[in-house]
Amino acid sequence: MGSRENGVTSSTSRGSGNGGAKVDKEVDFANYFCTYAFLYHQKEMLSDRVRMDAYFNSVFKNKHHFVGKTVLDVGTGSGILAIWSAQAGARKVYAVEATKMADHARELVKANNLQDVVEVIEGSIEDITLPEKVDVIISEWMGYFLLRESMFDSVIIARDRWLKPTGVMYPSHARMWLAPIRSGLSDHKMSDYEGCMDDWHGFVKETKTYYGVDMSVLTKPFSEEQKKYYLKNSLWNNLHPNQVVGTPAVLKEIDCLTVTVEDILKVEACVSSTITKEDTRLCGFGGWFDVHFNGRKENPAECGVELTTAPSIDDGTHWGQQVFLLHPPVRVNDQDEVRVNFSMTRSAENHRLMNVDLAYEIKLSSGVTLPPVANKFFIE
Amino acid sequence: MGSRENGVTSSTSRGSGNGGAKVDKEVDFANYFCTYAFLYHQKEMLSDRVRMDAYFNSVFKNKHHFVGKTVLDVGTGSGILAIWSAQAGARKVYAVEATKMADHARELVKANNLQDVVEVIEGSIEDITLPEKVDVIISEWMGYFLLRESMFDSVIIARDRWLKPTGVMYPSHARMWLAPIRSGLSDHKMSDYEGCMDDWHGFVKETKTYYGVDMSVLTKPFSEEQKKYYLKNSLWNNLHPNQVVGTPAVLKEIDCLTVTVEDILKVEACVSSTITKEDTRLCGFGGWFDVHFNGRKENPAECGVELTTAPSIDDGTHWGQQVFLLHPPVRVNDQDEVRVNFSMTRSAENHRLMNVDLAYEIKLSSGVTLPPVANKFFIE
């Protein structure tokens, strides 16, 4: 569940989790879970038509997966997926929610006359116990660029513990995409950064003049802090399809039935993209994801559904895309090739945030290859 | 140190501190301390000329308190107060800072050639040990409306442990003020709240129509959540002096040498304010503070200095004022009297945030007393 209101506070938490390493639960709550306890935040996600349509259709167009079956909704929030599962004919639905939002989910279930089917359980999925294994695990766990927030870890743990050997995952598959983009943001952010440094230099001068303290030794760390903030932190953006200037490439494919937490600790790929616009600027890369509701080989969906967060005019989502900006942008042309070495790992300070190494190399259509450029980014 | 970047994350932290009750340190760090580790934030405070001038003058116009003396700077941040203390002639300065900003403070001390006098110590003042007691404790601990962030607790603890019996506090005194104000914000926030509820009703209708789920049971909790956000959370504002429509009143007076943590757990006062404008609207109340650098009776300042955050055209500070809005505003007139019962206590979820009960009663200049109105506010 990507969230404009952050969903994760990027403070320097001393707890960290990396595929099993200890996460301080109280800190995790203060940094992460707490925003989901607000109805305003739930409403934001419930108002995302594309998201709602995809899950709604995935359930109601595949009732055979639900009728008379048992379902687990991981991170039920307001309870919407649990309610739909029950309305689609489930025998029993366990709706697990870590925050006090569980109280509202319980109210909502009752108000929709489904309390005999849906049981709301407040707690972390890692800690709670169910009386039985389930036929379906349904969850909306996706963060910005799919894995921000690392909520999928919890779904995998739930699957390994509570899904029957014949059970089905909703969604069943996920993919991460990357494409070269053009964007005015690159110039804007550089301009903001430069303005910020101009202001800093004025500040250093004044502090020396009026207060007798020489702050120039802090110029370097200040500029690094601001560079990170303005130039290296990935941005939420709602890209227009015209901003995609080359063929999108798949960075990662996930089978939600078999993937392990180990598999998603690191996303590493070497991909290639062909520029598809004449005489344009490569200002950065846009990252997004899609998920599919296909069921499983032994028990497929009758009607497969796709939820994509690719740049779109009419069908944008609250996830937007994550934008990694280059400084400076590079002039490119139709048929130039951009080769990207992409590597994303979890931040040591906060396992729900990411570090990205993105190196690109441009091979011009003339055959000349430009020197590779390496960049570090942060998904906060 | 009031901060526009919040300084405290108002998430529902399970740790709490109330004059000794257990505070989860990791959570406190994630919620509170972490923002002070950013140079950008330090710069904001260092760029506050009124703040800087007051502390600068308090030190350099009272060198007799510093020359050859020992000083403790509680929450040194960038190190500025410690550096000034050393420049004013201190023999030794202990500069304590809980965050990694301590590294930058150390650099700054060195770059200004004061490493023989200023010792930067990274840690919580409650945990560290000094080799001796000190003559002066200097600290910039004030949050919005003085006590938000509850940093003063740490200064009191430092005083009780490390200040010599003859020692001096910088600042020496503090006061909280309240005044009736007019403000367009009252209308704006009501308008925002109403728009938000209109949007909600549309959302409930659509969710029923398109997705078959009746969300109306959540209307009441949603409206309470939004009422709190739009109408009951106090606001940061930079009031124009013309917006103050009645005589300001003192809510609390603090002698920094003798006050205890117990004394500041609750701020309770019954005050009166006379309206000083013709035919105006009482839209709410503005709260601010001042501190004084007067030394102590046995060892007074040679030049007393005041730092005030009262509404000002030219001398505003980054603290602004805290604004408590009334809905609806009340028409008042010159010489009407506003009696206020004010009570501020710490939030159970987060001891650095506050709950306010503010009841007011208007006695018109005609002699008629209007019925009292009680309000709850939250300083987050």
Residues of B in contact with A12 (CB under 8 A): 29, 34, 37, 100
Q: What is the pLDDT of residue A170?
A: 98
How many angstroms away from the CA of B212 is the closest CA of chain A?
A: 8
8 Å CB contact of B218 and A104:
yes
Residue extents of the structural domains in chain A? 25-140, 176-182+235-379
Q: What is the pLDDT of residue B8?
A: 60
- Smallest Cβ–Cβ distance between A211 and the set B29, B37, B52 belongs to B52
Q: What is the pLDDT of residue A20?
A: 46
Per-residue pLDDT of A76-96, as tens digits, reads 999 999 999 999 999 999 999
Write out the H or E segment, with its range, that includes residue A233: none
Residues of A in contact with B39 (CB under 8 A): 218, 221-222, 225
How many Å apart are CA B115 and CA B109, to the nearest integer? 6
Q: How confident is the model at residue A5 (pLDDT cuts 50, 70, 90)?
A: very low
| Interchain contact A210–B (C-beta under 8 A) | yes
- Report CA-CA distances (Å) from A104 to A8, A108, A110: 22, 6, 10
Q: Three-state SS across chain B? A: CCCCCCCCCCCCCCCCCCCCCCCCHHHHHHHCHHHHHCHHHHHHHHCCHHHHHHHHHHHHCCHHHCCCCEEEEECCCCCHHHHHHHHCCCCEEEEEECCCHHHHHHHHHHHCCCCCCEEEEECCCCCCCCCCCEEEEECCCCECCECCCCCHHHHHHHHHHHEEEEEEEECCEEEEEEEEECCCHHHHHHHHHHHHHHHHHHHHHHHHHHHCCCCHHHHHHHHHHHHHHHHHECEEECCCHHHECECCEEEEEEECCCCCHHHHHEEEEEEEEEECCCCEEEEEEEEEEEEEEEEECCEEEEEEEEEECCCCCCCCCCCCEEEEEEEEEEEECCCCEEEEEEEEEECCCCCCCEEEEEEEEEECCCCCECCCEEEEEEEC
How does strand B173-181 pair with strand B163-170?
unpaired
| Interchain contact A240–B (C-beta under 8 A) | no
How many angstroms away from the CA of A238 is the closest CA of chain B?
A: 22
| Interchain contact B349–A (C-beta under 8 A) | no
Among A1-5, A130-134, B157-161, B248-252, the minimum mean pLDDT is found in: A1-5
Q: How confident is the model at residue A328 (pLDDT cuts 50, 70, 90)?
A: very high
| Interchain contact A209–B (C-beta under 8 A) | no
Q: What is the pLDDT of residue A121?
A: 98
Q: Is the dihedral of CA B242, B244, B248, B250 positive or negative?
A: negative
How many angstroms away from the CA of B244 is the closest CA of chain A?
A: 32
Residues of B in contact with A40 (CB under 8 A): 222, 225-226, 229
| Interchain contact A31–B (C-beta under 8 A) | yes
Mean predicted confidence (pLDDT) in B205-219:
98
How many Å apart are CA A221 and CA A3, to the nearest integer? 30
How many angstroms away from the CA of B242 is the closest CA of chain A?
A: 31
Q: Are A242 and A320 in contact, with CB atoms under 8 Å apart? A: no
Q: Which of residues 109-138 of B touch A (CB under 8 A)?
A: 110-112
| Interchain contact B212–A (C-beta under 8 A) | yes
How many angstroms away from the CA of B128 is the closest CA of chain A?
A: 19
| Region B25-140: CATH code | 3.40.50.150
Residues of B in contact with A208 (CB under 8 A): none
How many angstroms away from the CA of A285 is the closest CA of chain B?
A: 27
8 Å CB contact of A107 and B217:
yes
Q: What is the pLDDT of residue A259?
A: 98
Q: How confident is the model at residue B49 (pLDDT cuts 50, 70, 90)?
A: very high
Q: Is the pTM of this model over 0.80?
A: yes
CB burial of B182-201 (b: ≥16 within 10 Å; e: otherwise) equals bbebbeebbeebeebbeebe
Mutation test of the interface with chain A: which of B6, B201, B215, choosing the one with the most A Cβ atoms within 10 A? B215
Mean predicted confidence (pLDDT) in B48-62:
98
| Interchain contact A205–B (C-beta under 8 A) | no
Distance between alpha carbon A253 and the CA centroid of its chain, in Å?
Answer: 14
Mutation test of the interface with chain A: which of B6, B8, B10, B12, choosing the one with the most A Cβ atoms within 10 A? B12
Which residue is it, tokens 């989860």? B24
8 Å CB contact of A104 and B38:
no
Q: What is the pLDDT of residue A55?
A: 98
Whether residue B82 is predicted with pLDDT greater than 70 in this model: the reply is yes
Residues of B in contact with A107 (CB under 8 A): 217-218, 221
Mean predicted confidence (pLDDT) in A220-235:
97
Whether residue A24 is predicted with pLDDT greater than 90 in this model: the reply is no
Identify the three-state secondary structure at position A35. Answer: helix
8 Å CB contact of A30 and B52:
no
Superfamily of domain B176-182+235-379: Hnrnp arginine n-methyltransferase1 (2.70.160.11)
Take residue B349 and report the two structure tokens written for it.
């979820």
Per-residue pLDDT of B299-350, as tens digits, reads 999 999 999 999 999 999 999 999 999 999 999 999 999 999 999 999 998 9
Widest Cα–Cα separation across chain B: 78
Whether residue A6 is predicted with pLDDT greater than 50 in this model: the reply is no
Q: What is the pLDDT of residue A153?
A: 97
Average pLDDT, chain A: 93
Take residue A235 and report the two structure tokens written for it.
């941005």
Q: What is the pLDDT of residue A19?
A: 45
For residue A368, the one-letter residue type is: V
| Interchain contact B197–A (C-beta under 8 A) | no
Whether residue B248 is predicted with pLDDT greater than 80 in this model: the reply is yes
Q: What is the pLDDT of residue A122?
A: 98
Q: Are B110 and A219 in contact, with CB atoms under 8 Å apart? A: no
Which residue on chain A is closest to B215 by alpha carbon? A108
Mean predicted confidence (pLDDT) in A341-349:
96
Q: What is the pLDDT of residue B29?
A: 76
8 Å CB contact of B222 and A40:
yes
Q: How confident is the model at residue A290 (pLDDT cuts 50, 70, 90)?
A: very high
Please count the residue pairs, one from chain A and one from chain B, whose beta carbons lie less than 8 angstroms apart: 137
Q: What is the pLDDT of residue A130?
A: 98
How many Å apart are CA B269 and CA B251, to the nearest integer? 6
Query: Of the residues A5, A107, A132, A149, which is catalytic?
Result: A149
Q: What is the pLDDT of residue B28?
A: 83
Per-residue pLDDT of A159-174, as tens digits, reads 999 999 999 999 999 9
Per-residue pLDDT of A106-157, as tens digits, reads 999 999 999 999 999 999 999 999 999 999 999 999 999 999 999 999 999 9
Distance between alpha carbon B81 and the CA centroid of its chain, in Å?
Answer: 19
How many angstroms away from the CA of B209 is the closest CA of chain A?
A: 13
Q: Are B285 and B359 in contact, with CB atoms under 8 Å apart? A: no
Q: Are B15 and B23 in contact, with CB atoms under 8 Å apart? A: yes
Q: Which of residues 58-87 of A touch B (CB under 8 A)?
A: 78, 80, 83-84, 87
| Interchain contact B14–A (C-beta under 8 A) | yes
Instruction: Please indicate whether residue A26 is annotated as part of the active site.
Output: no
Q: What is the pLDDT of residue A22?
A: 64
Whether residue B364 is predicted with pLDDT greater than 90 in this model: the reply is yes
Mean predicted confidence (pLDDT) in B194-201:
98
Q: What is the pLDDT of residue B20?
A: 45
Residues of B in contact with A84 (CB under 8 A): 211-213
Q: Are A376 and A359 in contact, with CB atoms under 8 Å apart? A: no
- Smallest Cβ–Cβ distance between B218 and the set A24, A31, A108 belongs to A108
Q: Which of residues 275-314 of B touch A (CB under 8 A)?
A: none
8 Å CB contact of A112 and B78:
no
- Smallest Cβ–Cβ distance between B104 and the set A11, A29, A218 belongs to A218
Whether residue B134 is predicted with pLDDT greater than 90 in this model: the reply is yes
| More confident site: B154 or B23 | B154
Per-residue pLDDT of B57-71, as tens digits, reads 999 999 999 999 999
Whether residue A225 is predicted with pLDDT greater than 60 in this model: the reply is yes
Q: What is the pLDDT of residue A23?
A: 77
ipTM, two decimals: 0.92
Q: How confident is the model at residue A8 (pLDDT cuts 50, 70, 90)?
A: low
Q: What is the pLDDT of residue B10?
A: 47
Q: How confident is the model at residue B21 (pLDDT cuts 50, 70, 90)?
A: low
Residues of B in contact with A229 (CB under 8 A): 40
Q: How confident is the model at residue A33 (pLDDT cuts 50, 70, 90)?
A: confident
Mean predicted confidence (pLDDT) in A276-294:
98
